[in-house]
Chain A
């Protein structure tokens, strides 16, 4: 089971939108049963981000977790979301 964490400022607004998009994509690709999706606020994620296989953030993250996190803004601005899906796909099959 691949664990994906989606984070944003509150763990409510933009992360929900990104999570829903990923969920739809996973359903379309029939990968939904290999992945569990989580969401949280960035303040909470700081203490526990390393528990997840993929961390996607729509907000700026503190330096210590920078290398671990994928920028999720393409999902909301609608530009370049394809690459994100590619990264997720690779993780799921690796």
Chain B
């Protein structure tokens, strides 16, 4: 145990290259490629840490000044999914999520519990995010692993459930998105759409998405978005012109650089995730399965992009006016498309519904993100991130994703008993999803075997 502890204490940037190297070798990647993969991941980590440092240095004091001036209690900086992913992969649980996720997926496929083959290995970080927060809350390693397993199972079942809408709306055949940040919103969108359908007049409203994109498109560019937000906060903080402009350039830099650093992480993980995907596909070559991929495939849809553009100012406004919210949305303003990507098919591409539904969803999400902030901060520190200039951090992805709340709150409340609740939820979801599928696939031999 002490050897393992020593290894973990090396910090993510040293530990992960070894872990990725070993994974790559196990999956029969060439040694030279495996070495490079591991090193690139470690370098990506250091890069992310640098940018997070810049964000803390620039935005941290500005927010303090803003809080002093207006009494706005937005003290928690939203560091966003790039940091959340890095933090999640930087813990022991982050290394475990890839083998555990693959094992669970293969097991559930072989017993016919799911039809989803999730080859989107990269996004396994979502399960280690929840698991890491559970560990931070309960200090109980086995329970954290349990939550990770439950999270994997729930995402696979969601993958089964949402596939039909993904195929009919986005037109991806046999592809589904068992994506930690996107899939859960589907469950929220369903009842909302039911309600929207029954509001007279409102149920007939439509908006023109082309004009939204044309007039607001430039703000969808993260470069512009980052600078504009920086300017805004600089003014609110009462900075002089020079400091405001400096802050604006720095926040712009963060929004541009952070994804670049994560791209390095991704570049290193690519051989591993590809080899793992192939390994899984080989195990189930002929079955009529849904292939689980990154919902990034769908976020370019005009309805998703337009609704997300409108949701950026709405999210900021919500953060200011909602009493009790302490999160200042920042990096994940650029990630809103992922939060709503699976609401859009439910609303059949209706932008007005998506914006209202999305605002409702994100509004509640801000409270969850506020609630998990101390846990995210503790996890970031334990993953060796430089938190000097931050009071607390959080992230809308996955902090604002509703599944984050039960997955962390229940184990904190009911300890092991919470797994009875999780188990019941999984069974209900399984039965519901399969009723529908069986109905739909009546003529498909897969379900009769």
Contact = CB atoms under 8 A, between A and B. Distances in A.
24 contacts: A8-B294, A8-B300, A9-B297, A9-B337, A9-B338, A10-B296, A12-B263, A13-B294, A13-B296, A16-B266, A20-B267, A41-B222, A41-B334, A42-B305, A43-B220, A43-B221, A46-B213, A58-B297, A59-B296, A59-B301, A60-B297, A60-B298, A60-B301, A62-B305
B122 interface: yes
Contact of B217 (A15, A39, A41, A46): A46
Interface in B70-121: 82
Given A17-B266, A20-B270, A59-B299, A43 B259 contact: no
Interface in A48-94: 57-63, 73, 76-78
Interface string B152-170: 0000000000000000001
Given A10-B334, A61-B300, A63-B210, 19 more contacts: A8-B296, A9-B296, A10-B259, A10-B299, A10-B338, A11-B259, A12-B82, A12-B262, A12-B266, A13-B296, A14-B297, A16-B267, A16-B270, A17-B273, A42-B299, A59-B299, A59-B301, A62-B302, A62-B305
A13 B217 CA distance: 22
A43 B216 CA distance: 11
Contacts of B122: 13
Interface in A20-53: 20, 39, 41-44, 46-47
A7 interface: yes
A79 B175 CA distance: 13
Interface of B: 82, 122-123, 170, 172, 175, 210, 213, 217-218, 220-223, 259, 262-263, 266-267, 270, 273-274, 278, 291, 293-302, 305, 334-335, 337-338
Nearest to B267: A16
A41 B305 contact: no
Contacts of A57: 300
Most buried by A among B270, B293, B297: B297
Contacts of B217: 43, 46-47
A12 B274 CA distance: 16
Contacts of A73: 172, 297
Most buried by B among A7, A46, A47, A61: A46
A13 B298 contact: no
Contacts of B334: 10, 41, 43
Contacts of B262: 12
Interface residues of A, number: 30
Contacts of A20: 267, 270
Most buried by A among B220, B273, B293, B300: B300
A47 B213 CA distance: 11
B259 A7 contact: no
A11 B300 CA distance: 11
Given A9-B338, A10-B259, A59 B298 contact: yes
Contacts of B213: 46, 62
B297 A8 contact: yes
Contacts of B293: 14, 76-77
A41 B263 CA distance: 12
A13 B222 contact: no
Contacts of B337: 9, 43
Contact of A7 (B175, B273, B300, B305): B300
B270 A47 contact: no
Given A43-B220, A46-B213, A59 B297 contact: yes
A30 B170 CA distance: 37
A89 to B, nearest CB: 23
A66 to B, nearest CB: 10
A43 B224 CA distance: 11
A77 B220 contact: no
Contacts of B301: 59-60
A47 B225 CA distance: 14
Contact of B291 (A14, A62, A77): A77
Most buried by A among B170, B299, B338: B299
Contact of A9 (B210, B300, B302): B300
Given A9-B338, A12-B266, A16-B267, A44 B223 contact: yes
